Every structure is written in C-alpha cells, then in structure tokens.
Structure 1
Amino acid sequence: MSTSTSTAETSFASAPRPALAAERENTALIVVDVQNGVFAESWHAGEVIATISDLVQRARDTETVVIWVRHSSGELPPDSPQWQIVDALTPQDGEAIVEKTHGSTFEDTDFEEVLAAKDIGHLVVTGAQSDACIRSTIHGGFARGYDVTLVSDAHTTEDLSDWGAPTPDKVVSHTNLYWGFESGPGRSARVQESAEVDFVAPRSDS
C-alpha cells in the first residue's frame, strides 16, 4: 500500500465524525408542506392547521426546535401564492425552512445538516400529505436511524378516490395504524395524538 493511501486512511480514521441520529439528544417538531396549494384541497384542513399551530406554540414554549419544510414543483412554483405557507402558521426568525423538490424531506436537501447542527435525534412529524411527503419523510427518517413520532391528528391529505385511492379519512387512519407497528434496532416509531405530545424521545426496546 502506498504512503499516500495510508496517510489518507489515517487522516480519515482520525477525523471527528458527527453523532449518529440515534446518539443525538434533542427533539424537533417537523412541519411539512403547510402551503396554500397543498391545504386548499386537504381533508379537515382547518382543524389540522389549528392542531399544528397549537403544537408549534407548545414547542416554542418548551424551547423545542421547530423546522419547517416547503415543497416546490410545477403546481407549487417558488414565490407563487400557492407555494406560500398558510397565513395561520408563520415561521419565526431563527426557525429553519428546508426547501425540497422531492417527496422525502431528506432527498437532495440540507435537512440532515440542519438536524445534525441542532443535535436532533427525534422527529415529531406533522403536515401533508399523509400518503406522499409525510410517508416519505417518516420512512426516510426511520431508515436513517431517527426516532420518529407521527402526530395522528396533525397530518392530512387530499381526496384522490376518483383515481382509485382510499378516501382521505382512511388514508390518515391507515397511516396512523401501520406506523405504530414500525420497528427497528436502536430507534423507535410511534403514533401520538397531539394532546399526548411532550417532545420527549421514545425509548427503543430493541
């Protein structure tokens, strides 16, 4: 083996590594795609927005990190009215907004860098859509070693039953049902109603 290769390997081995998700101490409330164009057709939109608003305030009151996620696409072009976050929910100065163009908040974004910088290992997930960006994000987080709590009454979706999908109430219920059975070594998945959320990470039994 050449000297240059050995030196490179030694340097890599001795370089400090960021803490893995499972080793991090903090919790963040993740608010996914609460945008005008998303919630215009969403099931029980007003109730879900009010629930998320309450969670955001409780997170701020307990100094829990709040991270906002905003989607851009052909239907949600940047800076358009439909791309804007709904008026009832307003990010505060200092709260990160992660811009994405894929379903999962983890794909081709700075989300993991934001989480690492704030020592976040537990994600409390809310927003839309249950069967799209919410599903992609909770699975993406769990696969990367994060504890993931889905707030059962703080996510929603639109009615796509004309295209063969279940009705929105069934989509939300099924997402809550199956996520409660998700498991893996060293991290936990759980479902909580908003009233139960205390922003404390679950303990993994694995």
Structure 2
Amino acid sequence: MTTLSDRPNTALLVIDVQNGVVTGTHERDAVVANIGTLVEKAREEEVPIVWVAHNSENLPKDSADWQYVPELPRRESEALVHKTYADSFEDTDLEQVLAAAGIGRLIVTGAQTDECIRSTIHGAFVRGYDVTLVGDAHTTEDQSEWGAPPPDKVIAHTNLYWQYHTAPGRTAAVAETKNVDFKS
C-alpha cells in the first residue's frame, strides 16, 4: 500500500550491525541470530538485502569496528549504503538503490533502536514507504546512566508505538522474525 508508484517489491534493510556498534548491546547474540535468519530467508526468496554501514570519527570506514559482525557476511551482489547520519536516507544513495529495485516496502532490522532504527523507520515512512520493524531483530546499548530507560524498555516502547503508527496510504507494522512475510 506504499504511496510510491511502481514500487511493488520488498527489501530487507540491515542497519549498522557493525562490530563497534553492537558490542555490548542488549541481547546482541539473539538479535544477530534473528537477523541472520532473515538474511537467509530473504536470499532464498530472492528478496533484495540492503546493508547500511555508519561512518563517523569514532567508527572510521574500513576499520575493524566499522566492519559488519562476522556472523552476517554480505554478498558482493548485495547493496551497501554508507551513512553519516542516524536516518539511513539522509545524504546517502539509499533512495536511489531502493528506487532502482522497485522497492516500496521495507523490513527493518539492526541497531541502535533509539537512534538509527527510529530515525530510519520514520524517514522511510515520511518518504512513502511501508515499513515493518522486526521486533526481535533490533537492539541498543544501555544509556540509562544518561537518563534513558533501560534497553529492553527502549526496544519494547519502539515496538509498541510503531505497530500503531499511521499515515495516509502507508502501513507501519511490527513482526517477530518467525512471522516475517516478504511477499505480503
């Protein structure tokens, strides 16, 4: 139901599951395993996978921390989008990558829930995409010492509000890994 015309396809978006981003995050291993399950399912169903990698002063491109976790090897044929802002669309070629593949629906996974995940799901939605957040395939670190809720509450709250998010002509949803359907 996307508002983007001639965009009938779905893509799996894997955001910032990089060594320097997910080390020490909430339920890191379970989240990475769930993303791995989705990557394999997408490959089996020939659904495009778009990998997003954050670059910054603290996460320089091509450094060990910048690399994706070893459990999630990207294939050369799969798109890699480089970003420097929280929203994966901001000042990147993500929109061009998605448009070229006729993508109007995104299945979103990755890190950090309270920064890059939230920014990207909202950024996609306002740009006309249907967006499904995979509720057990995103994570964040504990920032409670700075006044944030604990990570399990950040994740739960994001899942809660996203399943009720609405706008004309677009669909927001939350699904668990086992229930993700790339075809509907």
The answer to whether the Cα contact below 8 Å between 1:98 and 1:111 also exists between their aligned partners in 2 is yes
Task: Give the alignment partner of residue 57 of structure 1, picking from 13, 16, 40.
Answer: 40
Partner Cα distance (1:127, 1:165) in 2: 19
Determine the structure 2 residue equivalent to 1:119: 102
| TM-score, L = length of structure 1 | 0.87
Tell me the secondary structure at the aligned position of residue 57 of structure 1: helix
TM-score (norm 2): 0.97
Q: State yes or no: 1:80 paired with 2:63.
A: yes
Gaps of 5+ in 1: 1-18, 202-206
Q: Where does residue 122 of structure 2 map in the other structure? A: 139
8 Å CA contact 2:3–2:169 kept in 1: the answer is: no
Q: 1:22 to 1:197 in 2, by over 3 A?
A: farther
Structure 1 counterpart of 2:148, which letter? A
- Bigger relative CO (Cα 8 Å, ≥ 6 apart): 2
Q: Does 1:48 align with 2:8?
A: no
Q: Which residue number in structure 2 is paired with residue 190 of structure 1?
A: 173
1:77-97 per-position Cα deviation (integer Å, ceiling 9, x unaligned): 111110010000011121000
2:150 corresponds to: 167
Amino acid at match of 1:30: L
The aligned counterpart of 1:204 is none
Please give the root-mean-square deviation of Cα atoms over the aligned residues, in Å. 1.2
Distance 1:165 1:22, change over 3 A: farther
Structure 1 residues 127 and 184: CA distance shift in structure 2, 3 A = same
Distance 1:79 1:145 in 2: 32
- Post-superposition offset of 1:20: 6.0
Q: Which residue of 2 aligns with 1:68?
A: 51
- Per the alignment, in what secondary structure is the counterpart of residue 162 of structure 1? helix
Tell me if the contact between 2:15 and 2:116 (Cα under 8 Å) persists in the aligned partners.
Answer: yes
Say which of 36, 50, 53 aligns to 2:19: 36
Whichever residue aligns with residue 59 of structure 1, its letter is A
Could you tell me how far apart the structure 2 residues matched to 1:23 and 1:143 are? 17
Residue ranges of structure 2 left out of the alignment (5+ in a row): none
Query: One-letter code of the match for 1:155?
Result: H
Q: Which has the larger radius of gyration?
A: 1
